[in-house]
Amino acid sequence: MSNILEYKGYQASVEYSAEDGVLFGKILHIPSLILFEAENAADIVSAFHKAVDDYLEYCDKKGLQPNKAFSGTLNVRIGPERHRKIAVYATKNGLSLNEAICGIIDALGTKRLFVAGDSRGC
């Protein structure tokens, strides 16, 4: 079961509020805080779609960039053994460490490498 919705390249997280008896969501990876809610699963999807469409329309009218700008720099703690493994892999394949990591990240689109709860994670 996933609590992530996707539409037009955007993602949203969805949670349930027992106190309020509603599902609510937040669009992820954008510079604005966009929330939406609904009383059932079918309606939360529609509410998400409407929130994305409204957001894109607003950005277009205001001349704003709708996507969050990412710096391209990522500092990750992987532990010494994983660091060694990726360094050995890079050397064997004639790659820099950065090229090896980028190649692995690029593979994420073609293959399911890790999911939350998998014991292989960091």
Paired residues of 16 in beta bridges: 23
Contact 23, 40 (CB under 8 A): yes
Structure tokens that stand for 110 in this block: 């073609």
12 forms bridges with which residues in the sheet?
Answer: 5, 27
Q: What is the pLDDT of residues 66-102, one digit of tens each?
A: 988 788 898 989 999 999 999 999 999 999 999 999 9
**What's the rounded Cα separation, in Å, for the pair 66 and 60?**
8
The whole-angstrom separation of Cα 21 and Cα 5 is: 20
Q: Is the pTM of this model over 0.85?
A: no
Query: Quick check: 49 and 25 in contact, CB under 8 A?
Result: no
- The model's pLDDT over 10-54, given as tens digits with 9 standing for 90+, comes to 999 999 999 999 999 999 999 999 999 999 999 999 999 999 999
Instruction: Count how many residues are written for the chain.
Output: 122
Sign of CA dihedral 90, 95, 97, 101: negative
